[in-house]
Structure 1
Amino acid sequence: MDSRPMGKLAVLVLLPMLAMWLLAADSSRPASGVSAVARCELEGVVDTGSGEYLANCVQRAEQGGYSALLVRVDTPGGSLEATRTIVRAFLGSSVPVLVWVGPSGAHAGSAGVFITLAANLTAMAPGTDLGAAHPVVGVTGANPEDVGGSQLARKVENDAVAFAESIAHQRGRNAEWAASAVRDSVAASAESALALRVVDHLAPSEAEFLAWADGRAVQVAGGDTVRLSTRDAQVVELAPSFSQRVVHALAHPALVYLLFLMAALGLVVELSHPGGIAPGVMGAMALVLALVASSALPVRTGALILLLLGAMFIIAELFVTSGLLGLTGVVLLGLGGLFLVDQFNPNWFVDRSFRVSWTWVVPTTVVVAGAAAYVAWRSAQTRRLPQRGGDAGLVGEEGTTLAPVTPESGEVFVHGERWRATSPAPIRRGAHVVVRRVEGLTLFVDEVKT
């Protein structure tokens, strides 16, 4: 058989596919001869996923030959290690990094302060704010010294202050304010930040920021001075990878709490209705996702134990039906949600808002409690019903004799099946009978008088 036609067909099919793949792989590169700015976003918590994403954005901007990297920031803070990764990438970048805190209503809090300070040029939209990088503890917002001791609190604070001051000095910003943002939880509005030389410009939009930055000279890694060409530049979005999206999407306390509740409810439904499969699979998947997400957040081990115990107590309620176990489980779930986030974690700097709030815990816990109570009630009802399967399920069933039944032998039709039967009193063929007891494959029946 001649393989040449098949070879030509393969070439005709593969060449367009290869061309499309090359175009897709090169879609993030700027058009030749056109000034281009790479763009990425930091929205939500600073976690492993977002830290890896922003560091990767710097690398892609360098490799792609972009004139600058624009980063939009709106964050409550997050992991100090991920923050250091981002700051290290910004300070070591050979491409100018421009950070814009926006749009109006956005916030660069806690760990976001370090990231904003690390940019070559920084702008804020009117109506935004920056600061409050001092660590707080738990749902009460207590001072770290009251919880962790003065030595530990001073060590954590001094390390963060030195980190903020070193960034501010390197970028020529107000180091005194940077230190006070950590020590005293000082925050500043966009206008105040500009007056204090914390940021360089007020810009209501990214386009206005790029127009203002055009022609300005900044110093990048290695001491080189670069003059920006950003006015009317082509803005190219650098999207995160799938794994970075997943890790970042899961890194929210409310979502972790909701996943634990879904896991508990799924397992409760599966155990109360064995064989459903889907609730059990969904519950197991939710539990795995909750554990994965909790590994990317500053969560308390004790809170995780409370959540797991709460789920176990609710499941135990299915078999005991006391009411007390279910109520205890619901209370443990609520407490686990409230104390889930460890806001005094030396590796994290987050706002007080970064937690599972009462407004989230109460309604979700009530919903799960109601669903679990309904499932337990239905299970209790089912247990009170007469047994329909096995030997015990035949007792009380009625049927018809297929042959005369005597104390020694006989045959009856019961429950859609033929059975050997005996009776203390002779019963004629075709009579109506009821099963009194079962021994092996023999039914002991009595005639039903009509």
Structure 2
Amino acid sequence: MTVIRPDRSLPNRASRWWLACLLLGALLALLPLWSQLQAQEPGERTGLVLTINGAIGPATMDYVMRGIEQAEEAQAEVLILRMDTPGGLMESMRTMIKAILASEVPVVSYVAPEGARAASAGTYILYGSHVAAMAPATHLGSATPVQMGGLPGSEEPAEDPAPDAGADDGTDADDSAEDSKRRGSTAMERKVLEDAVSYIRGLAERHGRNADWAERAVREAVNLGASDALEQNVIDLVAVNLDDLVQQLDGRTVRLSIGERRLDTEGLALNRVEADWRTRLLSVLTDPNVAYFLMIIGFYGIIFEMSNPGALVPGVIGAICLILALFAFQVLSVNYAGLALILLGLAFIVGEAFMPSFGMLGIGGIIAFVVGSIILMDGSHSEISLPTIGGTALVAAGFILWTITRFIGLRKRHPVTGMEQMTHESVEALEDFTAHEGEYWGHVRLSGERWRAVSAAPVQAGQLLQVVEVDGLTVRVTAS
């Protein structure tokens, strides 16, 4: 008696491969523990140097906040922000200044190298830092807040002033028009301008700097060079380089949120903390041109998916690009954008199992999950290690690959119901087929039923045949 055993080799191989992915993912997730075991006790006194080069945005904010955290953990003597910026987003700037004011480590903003600038948002950061310094041949100012896509005061006033206003004195009309211009031409512009003036004056008064010039920088967009800024008490010192800066900082007393502190920077070792790949990636995503195209791709992807339900490709790409665009425009914060991408990625991965898309949903889910995990690593939380993200993504990729291989295996199997299933059945001839018009006709037993059959070759009773076609209640058979 012959016993047919089911082939369990494929499931066993799949199970072993799935277990290997789980073990590898767990190993990668535990790698950060090794780095923690290698941590050493702090040695000599150090100072950290961060480099801000370019526009202020969410990526810069994240970089500075993580730098402040790192300085506090290392108990650094001072944190130096080496700046060369044309300005940036107000929300990112305000978040950075809040972190600077709350820092337990003195923060020194240093406009360098020669030829650099601290315009717009950079001026606010200078005023908000515990020590403001500049290199020679640098400047600051132009701190008037502007809307993205236009300048304040671009709209014409509703009515022109009367031609005879101030005719008796040639200066009154000019002063009045100038004063009106400085305060904005619309209610919204005045609100934004007055808020900015109050904010920068508060920063100046906290650190004992020139609040009147700060107000002029906001209202009139004036600028100052390094030597003039020092003379007018806008900054605290002018330093040729970092060594000169550290030397001049020694012995200076600064006011922190936890009280006054005297700086001891003699012989201080400076450690540069450059922007990592994550910060550079976020800087690319938050570039206005890239953010704009991400928004366009996101909207069109959603529209194409809604107009062609089930296409999946435009919907997956559109959803990811739209969330990234919202993050770039700071509609979503770094936390919420990362969380949204992670949830979207998990939804795509689960959707791959219930609605097979031959990998599109799964691949899109992994991309969304990884990018969301990277964005989620901001300065307000403990950093999620890359091995943990990679291990989790690897496990998800293994699950998707296993799902795809299972579905491909199912597609290769023969149908088990319907007419398609009958074409793979073996039948037995119940009689000798009789010839009729060049073909041979007879009856066969098919799935316990008696069917009429036709064959191109002679068939003997009891012969095993293979069904090749079903035509109504007649099956065409051939020798198996």
**TM-score (normalizing by structure 1):** 0.52
Q: Displacement of 1:17 after TM fit?
A: 6.6
Q: Say which of 169, 188, 204 aligns to 2:240.
A: 204
Q: Say which of 96, 99, 102 aligns to 2:106.
A: 96
Does the aligned pair in 2 maintain the 1:99–1:119 contact within 8 Å? yes
Write the mapping of 1:21-170 to structure 2, written as runs, cut at 5 A: 21-22=35-36, 26=39, 31-32=42-43, 34-137=44-147, 141-143=151-153, 146=156, 150-170=186-206
2: distance between equivalents of 1:255 and 1:46?
15
Deviations 1:333-365 (A, max 9, x none): xxxxxxxxxxxxxxxxxxxxxxxxxxxxxxxxx
- RMSD between aligned residues: 4.4
Stretches of structure 2 lacking an aligned partner (at least 5 in a row): 1-26, 158-183, 303-311, 333-480
Question: Residue 263 of structure 2 aligns with which residue?
Answer: 227
Does the aligned pair in 1 maintain the 2:152–2:189 contact within 8 Å? no
Q: Percent of aligned positions with the same letter in both sequences? A: 33
Q: Displacement of 1:184 after TM fit?
A: 0.9
1: distance between equivalents of 2:267 and 2:313?
55
2: distance between equivalents of 1:89 and 1:100?
17
Is 1:293 matched up with 2:333? no
Q: Say which of 178, 182, 187 aligns to 2:218.
A: 182
AA at the equivalent of 2:35: W
AA at the equivalent of 2:204: A
Q: Say which of 216, 226, 229 aligns to 1:193.
A: 229
AA at the equivalent of 2:218: V
Question: Residue 248 of structure 1 aligns with which residue?
Answer: 283
Q: Displacement of 1:134 after TM fit?
A: 0.9
AA at the equivalent of 1:37: G
Q: How many residues align?
A: 285
2: distance between equivalents of 1:49 and 1:160?
23
1: distance between equivalents of 2:200 and 2:155?
20
Q: Say which of 213, 224, 227 aligns to 2:249.
A: 213
Change (3 A) 1:111 1:146: farther
AA at the equivalent of 1:22: Q
2: distance between equivalents of 1:237 and 1:23?
22
**TM-score (normalizing by structure 2):** 0.49
Structure number with larger C-alpha Rg: 2
Does the aligned pair in 1 maintain the 2:114–2:137 contact within 8 Å? yes
1: distance between equivalents of 2:270 and 2:91?
32
1: distance between equivalents of 2:155 and 2:208?
32
2: distance between equivalents of 1:170 and 1:37?
24
Q: Displacement of 1:180 after TM fit?
A: 0.7
Does the aligned pair in 1 maintain the 2:58–2:330 contact within 8 Å? no
2: distance between equivalents of 1:97 and 1:61?
10
Secondary structure of the residue aligned to 2:229 is helix
Question: Residue 5 of structure 1 aligns with which residue?
Answer: none
Does the aligned pair in 2 maintain the 1:92–1:220 contact within 8 Å? yes
AA at the equivalent of 1:21: S
Secondary structure of the residue aligned to 2:194 is helix
Q: Displacement of 1:48 after TM fit?
A: 2.6
Does the aligned pair in 2 maintain the 1:46–1:77 contact within 8 Å? yes
2: distance between equivalents of 1:115 and 1:203?
18
Secondary structure of the residue aligned to 1:127 is coil
Secondary structure of the residue aligned to 1:188 is strand
1: distance between equivalents of 2:141 and 2:127?
11
Secondary structure of the residue aligned to 1:100 is strand
2: distance between equivalents of 1:219 and 1:142?
35
